[in-house]
Amino acid sequence: MKVYYSDHFVLPLPEGHRFPMVKYSMLRERVAASGICAPGELRVPRPVSDAEILRSHERGYLRGVVSGTLTPKEMRRIGFPWSERMVERSRRASGGTLGACLAALEEGFAANLAGGTHHAFADRGEGYCVFNDSAIAVRAVQAAGIVGRVVVVDTDVHQGNGTAAILRGDPSVFTFSIHGAKNFPFHKEHSDLDVALPDGADDAEFLHALDRGLERALETSRAELAIYLAGADPFEDDRLGRLSVSKDGLAERDRLVLESCRERGIPVAVTMAGGYSRDVGDIVDVHFQSVSLAARMTHPQKERGLTHG
């Protein structure tokens, strides 16, 4: 399976910053060691261009990001200090989602070991999100005339508010977000379908709600491509999550999403989104589960060889 990574575009963070940047290189190493990717399939994405970004973001915001002239308040909202590497990394992470979409359209499934930056709005970033990779990728594949209808299945524990806002009113894209009701963002936007879960929701509650929501999202969207945000933060030990979903429950989530799409013939680009568990190893485990299941579904004949990956 084709997998895109951009972890070597490291964005410098001050000591003690709570964003777990190390998860990306750990995950890439885990994927590389697992045999999921044939030689040449673990790829560095190209950066998305200004023109590609401008299909989803306002020109003034793009200019501010690129030139480092966003106000201190705007930067605080994003949560990262500005650097040229932050800009490059953000372009590459969106390029990874675009690359995964194109590869999924050819082979059924593909993954970006970054992306899921769903809190980025047209005119601002927030919550560690600079550019909205889902919106940028959707509009790039649509502009190329490759697909018409797309569904965004966002299972990160935080609502996909930026994605909902950017794509609102676009009948060709169906946005589905399942998230914690009391979690950030405290002001929710309107996705095409929002499912808000109470604090402490466990495997059964989460999976039941996901199953029903998926059914509706896939049925209504009539999508030809899905972008799946496989956030690791519904996990029970997540510092920001507020839910109680186990690792097995999250594996079952992956199975539900990927199999439901496969049954309907919808290719899936898997992206990572958030994860803030106390133990970064847990975050990597959860993300790896998502990527490896997608790989097993791409090449079912290899399934036995990968189960211990």
Under rule CB under 5 A, how many of the chain's residues touch Zn ion?
5
Whether residue 185 is preceded by a cis peptide bond, meaning omega within 30 degrees of 0, is yes
CA distance linking residue 86 with residue 205, whole number of Å: 37
Residue 154 engages Zn ion in binding (rule: CB under 5 A) = no
Closest approach, Cβ 128 to Zn ion, in A, equals 9
Q: For residue 158, state whether it binds Zn ion (rule: CB under 5 A).
A: yes
Of residues 230-249, those binding Zn ion (CB under 5 A): 231, 233
Point out which residues pair with 261 in neighbouring strands. Answer: none
**How far apart are the C-alpha atoms of 256 and 160, rounded to whole Å?**
20
Residue number, 224 or 236, with CB nearest to Zn ion: 236
Residue 39's SS3 state is: coil
Which one of the spans 71-79, 152-160, 251-259, 300-308 is the region binding Zn ion (CB under 5 A)? Answer: 152-160
**Residue closest to Zn ion, measured at CB:** 274
Nearer to Zn ion, 84 or 279 (CB): 279
As beta bridge partners, residue 269 has 110, 227
Q: Give 35's DSSP letter.
A: T
Q: How many Cβ atoms from other residues are within 10 Å of residue 74's Cβ?
A: 17
Least CB distance to Zn ion at residue 63 (A): 27
- CA dist 160 and 238 (Å) reads 18
- In whole angstroms, the minimum distance from the beta carbon of 13 to Zn ion comes to 18
CA distances from residue 159 to 6, 42, 105, 176, 303 in whole angstroms, order as listed? 24, 29, 26, 9, 33
Question: Which region, judged by CB under 5 A, interacts with Zn ion, from 149-157, 185-193, 252-260, 295-303?
Answer: 149-157
- Cα 300 versus chain centre, distance: 24
Euclidean distance between CA atoms 181 and 157, whole angstroms = 9
Interface map 246-275 toward Zn ion (x if CB under 5 A): ----------------------------x-
Contact between 119 and Zn ion per CB under 5 A: no
108 versus 231: smaller Cβ distance to Zn ion = 231
Single residue of 7, 133, 156, 282 touching Zn ion by CB under 5 A: 156
Q: How far is the CB of 283 from Zn ion (least distance, A)?
A: 11
Phi, psi for residue 262 in degrees, rounded to 5: -60, -40
What is the contact surface with Zn ion in residues (CB under 5 A)? 156, 158, 231, 233, 274
